[in-house]
Amino acid sequence: MFDLVGEHPIAAVIVAAEVGFWVLLGLGLLLRYVLRLRALSNVVLLGIPLLAVVLVVAVGIDLHNGATADATHGLAGLYLGFTLAFGHSLMRWADVRVAHRFAGGPAPVQIPKSGPERRKHVWQEWLRVVNAAVISSVSLGALALFVGTPEQDATLTWWIGRVWVICGIWFLCGPVWEIGRSDKQESSKDRVDIGR
């Protein structure tokens, strides 16, 4: 791991951004629910999306300085997209649990294992993935268009294709799987009802 970070400074920035995400989230929730400093908590939590922006700026500077574009630069674009698309829901997920534990908030609502609410949740998750793919594609495209050299552009645009492959796989493993599972449950329920 240390060799990877040493050879690829952007890998170090990605690791720092991920660690920073969890540190800021934990600190923000601690300030909000344990120390009751809501305004300061909001300021700290607003720093979370800035970490992803700092990461992309660091990638831009690295590419501008002539670095060979590689997987770490592509991953940084994906990291930005997924952080911005999923960050708010992840913060909300943690907030509900910490509020319940430390501030007498309501218990977290569990996602049903089947039914319309389950299907709605699966589709919402997939739409977040589409949002992440769009953000990643725009950031990687902007890096290729405005910062990258022709040699760097090929790697960056290849990662744009990769994020849409992830989106397609998520679609198959999420909504399509859930539709198939729901159809099986409904048909087995119909057979039980007919047999009575």
pLDDT band at 91 (very low <50, low <70, confident <90, very high): very high
- State mean pLDDT over 76-105: 91
Residue 132: CB atoms within 10 A of its CB come to 24
Per-residue pLDDT reduced to its tens digit, 129-170: 999 999 999 999 999 999 988 888 899 999 999 999 999 999
Sequence spans of domains, the chain: 2-195
pLDDT class of 125 with cuts at 50, 70, 90? very high
Confidence band of 192 (pLDDT split at 50, 70, 90): very low
Residue 182: pLDDT above 80?
Answer: no
* Residue showing tokens 């997987």: 71
- The beta strand positions in 67-140, using DSSP E, are none
pLDDT tens by residue, 29-88: 999 999 999 999 999 999 998 898 899 899 999 999 988 889 899 999 999 999 999 999
**Half-sphere exposure (CA, 13 Å, Cβ side) for 12?**
9
Q: What is the pLDDT of residue 185?
A: 67
State the Cα–Cα distance between residues 196 and 190, nearest whole angstrom: 10
CA–centroid distance for 158 within its chain: 20
pLDDT band at 4 (very low <50, low <70, confident <90, very high): low
> Which of 68, 75, 64 has the alpha carbon at shortest distance from 7?
68
Q: What pLDDT, on a 0 to 100 scale, did the predictor assign at position 107?
A: 92
Q: 188, 169 in Cβ contact below 8 A?
A: no
The per-residue pLDDT for 2 is 55
More confident residue, 189 or 26: 26
Query: What confidence score (pLDDT) does residue 5 get?
Result: 57
